[in-house]
Structure 1
Amino acid sequence: MAEQIVVGYDGSENSDRALDWAIREAGGLGGELKVVVSMGRPVAVDPSLYGPFLEAIEQETDRVAGAAVARAREAGVAAAGALERGDAAGVLVHGSDSAAALVLGRRGRRGVRGRLGSVSAAVSAHASCPVVVVPERWDPRARAARGAGPFAGRVVVGVDRLG
């Protein structure tokens, strides 16, 4: 079975960078890409009150996932979309159970959580596989133009001793 890279995607600029990174990684591994889009938490209210709104959210979510899958396939990477109900962090942590790696973009919001968004922080802390949080400034074209430097091929890793 091919390695599966899971990418959290919402159509934002940060998730576009994460998608690009995940496409490159899956392509390099000859693996599959699973694009996960969360529609948010289920609503427990009378469907007559939110039916058309929920339908619009589902249609937009499907469109966003479809565009991401199409981008991956155009790059020659096998890809599938997964529309999930639930909070983004929980959905991604659950999706990490069968993934070789989980990729998401940094949200870019500054605040209580500091340099990572709340979803990236939660997923990084609880995922069952390696997590890649792609920084806002990541640009593969700029890296290729820079060429090899003293840090070429090096990776910075944070490790927390388990149990």
Structure 2
Amino acid sequence: MKKCVFAGTFDPPTIGHQDIVLKCLEIFDEVVVALMINPNKQPLFKTEDRLMLLEKVFSGHPNVKVVAYDGLLVDLLRKENTKFYVRGIRNGTDYDYENQLNYINCDMYKQMITIFLPTRQNLVHISSSLVKDALRFHKNVDDYVPAEIRGDIRKLLDTEVR
């Protein structure tokens, strides 16, 4: 069975993230969507809320496993018993950044294979950072987040004191 890991902060999950996971399902038997906990980032949504959002987005896909992880990516790959790591890229800037990380990760886990999947052209402008900024200013982000979680995002924002 071929398995891959697709990791990120997912703050919040976007239709771009969803699209990459759906592409992965066409290639792999199982996709591990890993919510990476980065102490250097200040997320808009709590870890448990982002995990819930991801689980809801992929609840209809039994071969998608959603996990939270607070260690190094290479250790997660070993834990999941896979060498395949998938990254979605929107442009050359994304590629340059992700490829630098790839070299470092491959130094730590020689068997690792990183697969870069380009984002669909109509999704290139979507990023969690831009969605987060729009949410902070109470703008509608329905076109950028999966339909399964639109209401949840609004409720979370209404209940959070930020």
TM-score by length of 2: 0.50
Larger radius of gyration between Structure 1 and Structure 2: 1
Alignment equivalent of 1:73, drawn from 49, 55, 59: 59
CA distance in 2, matches of 1:108, 1:140: 10
**Per-residue CA distance 1:41-62 (angstroms, 9 max, x = gap):** 59xxxxxxxxxxxxx97x7222
Within the alignment, does 1:20 sit opposite 2:4 as a pair?
A: no
CA distance in 2, matches of 1:131, 1:95: 14
3-state SS of the aligned residue for 2:104?
A: helix
2:32 maps to a residue whose letter is K
Distance 1:28 1:38, change over 3 A: closer
Q: Where does residue 5 of structure 2 map in the other structure?
A: 6
2:47 maps to a residue whose letter is T
Aligned length: 117
Shift of 1:22: 3.2
Q: Where does residue 67 of structure 2 map in the other structure?
A: 82
Alignment equivalent of 1:38, drawn from 6, 24, 36: 36
CA distance in 1, matches of 2:102, 2:6: 12
Q: Where does residue 61 of structure 1 map in the other structure?
A: 47
Shift of 1:107: 8.9
Q: Decide whether the 8 Å contact of 1:5 with 1:100 is kept in 2.
A: yes
Within the alignment, does 1:104 sit opposite 2:87 as a pair?
A: yes
Within the alignment, does 1:139 sit opposite 2:127 as a pair?
A: no
3-state SS of the aligned residue for 1:25?
A: helix
**Per-residue CA distance 1:15-59 (angstroms, 9 max, x = gap):** 864552233222444x122111222259xxxxxxxxxxxxx97x7
Shift of 1:104: 2.5
Alignment equivalent of 1:115, drawn from 87, 91, 96: 96
Shift of 1:139: 0.3
Unaligned runs of 5+ in 2: 124-162
**Root mean square deviation of aligned Cα:** 4.0
Distance 1:61 1:16, change over 3 A: farther
Q: Decide whether the 8 Å contact of 1:15 with 1:104 is kept in 2.
A: no
TM-score by length of 1: 0.50
Unaligned runs of 5+ in 1: 43-55, 143-163
2:63 maps to a residue whose letter is A
Moved >6 Å (runs of 4+): none
Distance 1:18 1:64, change over 3 A: same
Q: Decide whether the 8 Å contact of 2:11 with 2:50 is kept in 1.
A: no
